[in-house]
């Protein structure tokens, strides 16, 4: 290296040392601190900082809470300070008690840069953001698994109600109808008719519950068919009119996407039925090729932004959570006396759903 290059490099190295966001410590072979950059000074507390500048032997140990070894998540055994000068630890994880932030995980490197004098450099990079990202990723994955498990359990219970309980109840109704022809007792016939009517109502309730848990149309025919079937039930049971428009480029989407869209629409209509004080709701489903849009709109009482929503608010939270887990976005637009709009968009690209 020429003198000119050296003259140019030294100021750059000094700027790196002063301005780096990574904490840099220099130690001698006895573990005494020679120098540290401003980022390193920001990590340690005042007492430890004074000890470091005084060159106290292994002063950093006062703030170090251990490192991650092959056998322990956090340990002080065979500390990195004890490794021979000829060895380098290019990357390992260490935990420090920092000033104002508590215990923080860092990725660290420990290198000998001057073997003759045993000078070593200890460099630290904060891993808090990476850990938070990993934790969020893990939580999202776990939540997806939970929701998937819930839907699978809903599907199992729905089929069990339909194929077992409802069929057995229907068989009992048929038997009861046969028994009516085997007696002329008016009192007994009257009681049997009442029982038949009760069992028929119970059969309808079980069938409705089965469909609410997991509509077969959603698994067999897709979103549009499931929507129309659900809207007919609402109109039949509650006199609730849903004006539905659909513009889809394909019949099927990923099961996760279809489930999110259906559940959000189901919850939005339930909220409108309970709180909006309207008889008509507008629902639209649109596919632009890249995004799938759901819009649920009413002209009911609405509410002011920032006000606590009626009920527990868990419905809105659940819709928001489902949308985020599917990589989409969810929003609610409302004003008092001007109705409510619920907007959901889910990326679908050009994916192919199940046939």
pLDDT tens per residue across all 355 residues of the chain: 677 777 778 888 889 889 999 999 999 888 888 899 999 999 888 888 888 888 888 888 888 999 988 888 888 888 888 888 778 888 899 999 998 889 999 999 999 999 888 899 999 999 999 988 888 888 888 888 888 888 888 888 878 887 778 888 888 888 888 888 888 888 888 888 888 888 888 888 888 788 778 888 888 888 999 999 999 988 988 888 999 999 988 888 988 899 999 999 999 999 899 888 899 999 999 998 889 999 999 998 888 776 665 665 567 888 888 898 888 999 999 888 888 999 999 998 755 544 4
Tens digit of each residue's pLDDT (9 = 90 or more) over 62-73: 889 999 888 888
**Mean of the per-residue pLDDT values for the chain?**
86
152 and 120 within one domain:
no
- Closest among 108, 83, 77 to 93, alpha carbons compared: 108
Residues 72 and 117 in one domain: yes
What pTM was computed for the model? 0.62
Residue 13 lies in a domain: yes
As for how many domains the chain has, the answer is 3
User: Is 323 in contact with 330 (CB distance < 8 Å)?
Assistant: yes
Same domain assignment for residues 199 and 226: no
Asked, for residue 146, whether it belongs to a domain, the answer is: yes
Assess whether 316 and 326 both reside in one domain: yes
Q: Judge contact between 74 and 66, C-beta under 8 A.
A: yes
117 and 232 fall within a common domain:
no
Residues 234 and 288 in one domain: yes
Domain with residue 57: its CATH number is 3.30.450.20
Give the domain-ending residue among 68, 99, 126.
126
The answer on 133 and 115 residing in a single domain is: no
* Beta strands 280-287; 241-247: pairing state: parallel
- Domain containing residue 324: CATH number: 3.30.565.10
Take residue 101 and report the two structure tokens written for it: 């932030």
318, part of any domain: yes
Q: Are residues 140 and 107 in the same domain?
A: no
Task: Answer with the one of 67, 99, 126 that is the final residue of a domain.
Answer: 126
Please check whether residue 354 is in contact with residue 252, taking contact to mean a CB–CB distance below 8 angstroms: yes
Q: Is residue 185 part of a domain?
A: yes
The residue segments making up the domain with residue 164 are 128-214
237 and 338 both lie in a single domain = yes
Residues 19, 108: one domain? yes
Element containing residue 141 per DSSP (H, E): helix 128-160
**Which one of 104, 126, 148 terminates a domain?**
126
């Amino acid at each position: 290296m020429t003198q000119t290059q050296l003259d140019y490099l030294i100021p750059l190295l000094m700027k790196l040392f002063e301005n780096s966001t990574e904490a840099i410590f220099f130690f001698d072979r006895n573990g005494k601190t020679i120098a540290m950059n401003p980022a390193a000074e920001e990590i340690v507390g005042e007492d430890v900082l004074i000890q470091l500048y005084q060159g106290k032997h292994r002063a950093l140990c006062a703030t170090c809470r251990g490192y991650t070894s092959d056998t322990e998540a956090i340990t002080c055994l065979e500390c990195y300070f004890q490794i021979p000068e000829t060895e380098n630890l290019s990357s390992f994880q260490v935990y420090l008690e920092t000033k104002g932030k508590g215990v923080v995980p860092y990725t660290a490197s420990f290198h000998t840069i001057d073997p003759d004098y045993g000078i070593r450099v200890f460099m630290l990079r904060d891993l808090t953001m990476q850990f938070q990202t990993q934790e969020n990723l893990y939580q999202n994955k776990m939540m997806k698994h939970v929701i998937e498990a819930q839907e699978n359990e809903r599907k199992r219970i729905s089929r069990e109600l339909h194929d077992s309980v409802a069929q057995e109840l229907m068989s009992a109704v048929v038997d009861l109808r046969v028994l009516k022809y085997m007696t002329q007792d008016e009192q007994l016939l009257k009681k049997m008719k009442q029982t038949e009517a009760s069992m028929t109502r119970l059969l309808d309730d079980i069938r409705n519950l089965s469909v609410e848990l997991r509509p077969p149309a959603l698994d067999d025919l897709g979103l549009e068919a499931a929507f129309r079937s659900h809207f007919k039930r609402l109109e039949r049971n509650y006199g609730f009119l849903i004006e539905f428009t659909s513009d889809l480029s394909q019949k099927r989407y990923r099961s996760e996407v279809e489930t999110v869209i259906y559940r959000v629409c189901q919850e939005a209509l339930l909220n409108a039925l309970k709180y909006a004080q309207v008889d008509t709701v507008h629902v639209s489903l649109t596919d632009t090729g890249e995004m799938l849009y759901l819009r649920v709109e009413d002209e009911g009482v609405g509410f002011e932004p920032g006000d606590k929503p009626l009920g527990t608010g868990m419905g809105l939270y659940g819709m928001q959570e489902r949308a985020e887990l599917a990589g989409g976005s969810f929003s609610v637009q409302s004003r008092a006396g001007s109705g409510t709009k619920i907007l959901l968009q889910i990326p679908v690209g050009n994916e192919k759903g199940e046939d």
